[in-house]
Chains A and B, each alone.
Chain A
Amino acid sequence: MPIVTQRFVDNAWRRNCDFITLDLEDSVPRHLKAHARSLVKDAIPNVAKGGADVSVRINHDTALADLNGAVWPGLLKIRYPKAESAEEIRAIDDVITRLERERGIRPGTIEIGTGIETAAGVAHAYEIASASPRIKEFGGGNGYDMSCNLGMEMFVGFDQFIYTKGEVELTARTLNMAPVRTVPFVINRTGNVKDGDRALREAVGALKCGFRGSGGGLNPAVVESHNKGYTPSEDDRADARWVLEQFRKLDGTHESWLEIDGRVIDRYEAALARETLAWAAQCAARDEEKAAAVARAKSILAATTKIESAPPTGDSKKSK
């Protein structure tokens, strides 16, 4: 979200997001960039009240000034867009390392998320991904900026990013990183960012494909679609338990797989089922965490409101 729109920032904690990205980049007009940097320190705890992890997306070309404004306690990750070389990442790592020491943040806590959004970024993906231990996840190779950089059209009826996404994901997997699994290809001809139904369809398809999180949404209207779509349904969980039950039938036999109604049960299917159940448990734990955070934030808010709405003593003007 654009950090300069105060009502977005103030209401962010109520949105039930797992992640919130405070944006200093493309959603902030040029003349407000300096002002935007001054807002980050207070915005971090403000948007985190609902239990979301907070990232800040900085600008590629003013990285140093942006990092100065963005690296504060409570921050999980710096998102660095349009990464093109390992040198850039090392320079950013150095600045973060210094700021962590200066500002009392445990060394090495702040992650770097790189956006691979240009041809040069794709060509140097492996060097970029291995440039800093702060990079824990790696992804990209698609999206608006990638399409602009390559002179592609964005909303077409086929997957135009097969090669670029493939290079980036193969890099992530080769380095044993969690790929930032954005959405798999679903035809999208409109680019409507508020379409909760399409967001849900995409998320459900993405979950089936093994993805574990959206690339982020641009409108609160898609948050619940993402939460719901990326969480295994009761049917998914029941199916996973059934698979594991069938798989146990192979114990003690000489067979490595069996087939039931045309469906193969083997060690791969069993691993997938175990993973689905583990992911469902993680989703449930995260939901509890967020609910507890929201309850805490609400009770603090209620207490503050009570104090504020107590009978005026002298001055009748209240600060909002």
Chain B
Amino acid sequence: MEHRLRRSWLLTPASSPEKLAAAIKSAADVAVLDLVEFVVERCKPAAREHMSAAVRVVEAAGKEAYAQVDAQLLYADLHASVWPGLAGVVISRAETTEQIKEADQVLTHLEAERGLLPGTVRIVVACETARGNHAAYELATASRRVWGLTLGRADLIMDLRPEPSTEIHMMQYLMQRLITIAGAVGATPLGAWWRAPDRGLLATPDNTLQAARRGRAIGFRGALCVREDQVSSLNQGFTPSPDEEHAATRLLAAYDTATIAGNAVLRQDDRLFDRGTARCARSLLDLAAACKPPLAMSS
């Protein structure tokens, strides 16, 4: 059972110490030091140089540090990123099992060389291309390090634009496909149900909150974002609301009474509840408890 919360993943360009300073002041659960999407090509060598200091800064701020690395530049990006304190890597534009296996091997080597506990650096696979999504199951099972799956910035990378309904083309299909695969392999699906005009993980704080709520409703557990003002929306959206918590508490009390009386099914208002719904209510309360600040700190 994992207690650490990973609701909000704030991407911050590894090339910019000022942006990093702002990121660690935010309430993000995870800071993702980016070497791919927000670092222009000619700044990449310098950004890689910053990585070891950046990982220390993030860790000192009490956040988890992840690095976002390029699936096609694994060797350089991983060598730059894997330092004590790094919790994991997001592999952007992952497409083949060979890439995941290569990442696994390089991580194993670097963990040994740089004094990290073996096997501790996690992998989040970002399926951001058609090939990556098509192969998502194979990618997710290519290494035991794979902890999470996300669509990342697939809307931009696959050029998926808004439909007249404001849904982003193909996204409902891709989200459900990814969440199902994540469930099948025991990985955590990360994402939010963005709608136009949201693009590339960027949205207003209010739209981010709605996207996170919709995302949680279809099985996502946390999401990536780009700006500090989106962070608290993600935290809120992926935390059960007081109303939900209250309803779950009430349901469980009634359900326990009913089972003691020998009933398997409970009628409350117009709805029927059974073991399955009680289990859902319990996990909602577990999540709500984990989201409460004092408990989160002690875990």
Contacts and interface: CB of A to CB of B under 8 A. Distances in A.
Contacts of B164: 184-186, 201-202, 205, 208-209
A209 B161 contact: yes
B43 A254 contact: yes
Interface stretch (B76-84, B96-104, B127-135, B208-216): B127-135
Given A184-B169, A256-B38, A166 B163 contact: no
Contacts of B39: 256
B13 interface: yes
A31 to B, nearest CB: 42
Given A173-B130, A254-B15, A210 B161 contact: yes
Interface string A198-235: 00011001001110000000000000000000000000
Interface in A146-201: 159, 162-163, 165-167, 169-171, 173-174, 184-186, 201
B215 to A, nearest CB: 17
A257 interface: yes
Given A173-B158, A268-B200, A256 B37 contact: yes
Interface string A25-41: 00000000000000000
Interface residues of A, number: 32
B40 A170 contact: no
A23 B203 CA distance: 47
Contact of A208 (B156, B162, B167, B176): B162
Nearest to A164: B173
Most chain B beta-carbon contacts within 10 A, residue among A126, A162, A271: A162
Contacts of A169: 170
Contacts, number: 79
Interface in B20-77: 37-40, 43
Contact of B172 (A162, A256, A272): A162
B170 A170 contact: yes
A301 interface: no
Interface in A97-140: 126
Contacts of B177: 166
B169 A162 contact: no
A264 interface: yes
Interface in B127-166: 130-131, 133-134, 156-165
Contacts of B287: none
A264 B38 CA distance: 13
B163 A209 contact: yes
B38 A166 contact: no
A61 interface: no
Interface in A61-114: none
B282 interface: no
B13 to A, nearest CB: 7
A255 interface: yes
Given A174-B134, A254-B16, A210 B170 contact: no
Contacts of A271: 159
A268 B16 CA distance: 21
B130 A208 contact: no
A163 B173 contact: yes
Contacts of A210: 159-161, 169
B106 interface: no
B175 to A, nearest CB: 10
Contacts of A272: 159, 161
Contacts of B176: 163
Interface of B: 13, 15-16, 37-40, 43, 130-131, 133-134, 156-165, 167, 169-170, 172-174, 176-177, 199-200, 202
28 contacts: A126-B134, A159-B167, A162-B172, A162-B173, A163-B173, A165-B173, A166-B173, A166-B177, A170-B173, A173-B158, A174-B134, A184-B169, A186-B164, A186-B165, A208-B161, A208-B162, A209-B161, A209-B162, A209-B163, A209-B164, A209-B169, A210-B161, A210-B169, A256-B13, A264-B199, A266-B200, A268-B156, A272-B161
Closest 5 CB pairs of A and B: A166-B173, A173-B130, A205-B164, A184-B163, A174-B134
Given A184-B164, A264-B199, 11 more contacts: A163-B173, A173-B130, A174-B133, A174-B134, A202-B164, A205-B164, A209-B164, A253-B40, A257-B38, A264-B202, A268-B159
